[in-house]
Structure 1
């Protein structure tokens, strides 16, 4: 998938990064929905809400977590499209979000969660691909 930004076609590292961000978004959604569906998480959150006087049904928690995961995944893809078009601000946003996501995956890495390993590798490679020389030239050529 090659796209143009202005008059320049996106180089291969940017296209690779774009698709890795899409994969990262999908993995993030899968991880969020899986975490929401785990019985322990739902039970702990419901018990915590009950103890504090609030009422929270497990289905509300599941739905809100799943919707949140889809929104975050959609934002990843949206920013990736802007990055593919040569917008440097989108590259910066994806870098910050990617680093924070990797830091947030530390517990999954410690627990030897294979999904966390794949997510971290995909995210780190997506970030690196946005900063290789060909990518830097692409963003410099598309400055507005």
Structure 2
């Protein structure tokens, strides 16, 4: 992967594409969760003042916004911005912690999200990747 005239180290390129996969999986997970009958029944039983359809749509939109942020920060990470690597690490930790309950329930999708997220974070901190962040950014 190249940006302008610079070649991006392989671990950074791999991490970028893993973050893109995580973003796609988060959208899929958000849509599945929002449209699941159990989620809609829970919203109805709570007697929330918001219609179920509004909750479903807002959940889907929230998933898309979250995925877009993942990709945006991954792009900044590819450009050598260390702060983006830190933000993605925080996203990764929160994602893994938030998926613990789903993993224990046996959600295959949650397990895949966690594995891909851990891979993306690890790739950002490999020795070849560290040099990418120590370079001055134009």
Asked if these proteins are the same fold (TM beyond 0.5), I'd say yes
| From 89, 112, 137, the counterpart of 2:131 | 137
Distance in 2 of aligned mates of 1:75 and 1:45: 27
The aligned residue for residue 107 of structure 2 is 113
What TM-score do the two structures reach when normalised by structure 1? 0.91
- Report deviation, 1:43: 1.6
Gaps of 5+ in 1: none
- For 1:84 and 1:116, how far apart are their aligned partners in 2? 26
Q: Are residue 23 (structure 1) and residue 24 (structure 2) matched?
A: no
CA distance in 2, matches of 1:142, 1:66: 38
Asked if 1:55 is matched to 2:53, the reply is no
Aligned to 1:64: 58
Q: Which runs of 4+ in 1 moved over 2 A?
A: none
Residues matched between the structures, number: 138
- Determine which of 17, 41, 49 is the counterpart of 2:39: 41
Q: With the length of structure 2 as denominator, give the TM-score of the two structures.
A: 0.94
Cα offsets for 1:66-112 (capped at 9, x unmatched): 00000000000000000011110000000011011000000111011
Structure 2: where are the runs of 5+ without partners? none
CA-based RMSD: 1.4
Residues 11, 134 of structure 1: 8 Å contact kept: yes
Deviations 1:15-40 (A, max 9, x none): 00000000001101111110010111
